[in-house]
Amino acid sequence: MFTPESSSVVEAIFNECLDLPPNFLHEYNLDRSWDFMVSLSYSPATETESNGLSEHQDGNCFTFVLQDDVGGLEVLKDGGWIPVIPIEGSIIVNIGDAIQFKLVMHECTEEEKNNRKSVIGFSSKNGKENMGNRQR
C-alpha cells in the first residue's frame, strides 16, 4: 500500500491539482530514504484512561493511513471535529506540513469497546525541520 510508486502517484495527482510545474513535487522530495511506516493499536478507552492520539498535523509530505473498521480518526474543519468514516481496507491520504498547501489538523480518539488498528506510511522529506511539527 505504501511504496515509492504509490507516493509518486499521489505526488503526481497533487502536482497537477495544484497546477505546479511538471514534476515539481517529485523533485521536491527525491530522497525516499526518509519514508517510514508505523503500525498503531489503540486500546479501548476506559472511564479514566485514554491513549488516543491528540490533535496534531503531520510534519511530512503525505501520510497514508490504512485503517480498519473501527472509528476514531477525526479531522478539524471549520472549528469542528469531523469523524472519518472507517472503511476497512481503505487508505486515507493526508497532506503533511512539508507540502504547506492545506494544514490538516487531526486526532485519533478511542472507542469504548473496540480496539482500533492502523498502519501508517509517511512519505517524508529530508531534513529534521520538516519532522519537527509532528506532535504526539
Ligand X SMILES: O=C(O)CCC(=O)C(=O)O
**Residues 56, 110, 112: CA angle, nearest 5 degrees:** 165
* C-beta closer to Fe ion: residue 23 or 54: 54
* C-beta closer to Fe ion: residue 29 or 57: 57
Our finding on whether 11 is near Fe ion (CB under 5 A) is no
Considering CB distances under 5 to 8 angstroms, the limit depending on partner class, which of ligand X, Fe ion, none binds residue 18? none
Q: Mask: binding to ligand X, 9-48, rule CB under 6 A, as x and -?
A: -------------------------------x--------
User: Considering only 7-15, 18-26, 27-35, 65-73, which stretch makes contact with ligand X by CB under 6 A?
Assistant: 65-73
Q: What is residue 3's DSSP assignment?
A: S
Q: Which of residues 104-133 bind ligand X (CB under 6 A)?
A: 106, 108, 118, 120
Distance of alpha carbon 38 from alpha carbon 115, whole angstroms = 16
Distance of alpha carbon 58 from alpha carbon 97, whole angstroms = 6
List, in order, residues 6 or more apart from 98 with CB less than 8 Å away. Answer: 29, 59, 60, 61, 124, 125, 130
Instruction: Give the residue, chosen from 58, 68, 74, 97, that forms a contact with Fe ion under the rule CB under 5 A.
Output: 58
Give the chain's end-to-end CA distance (angstroms, integer): 24
Binding residues for ligand X (CB under 6 A): 40, 53, 58, 65, 67, 73, 106, 108, 118, 120
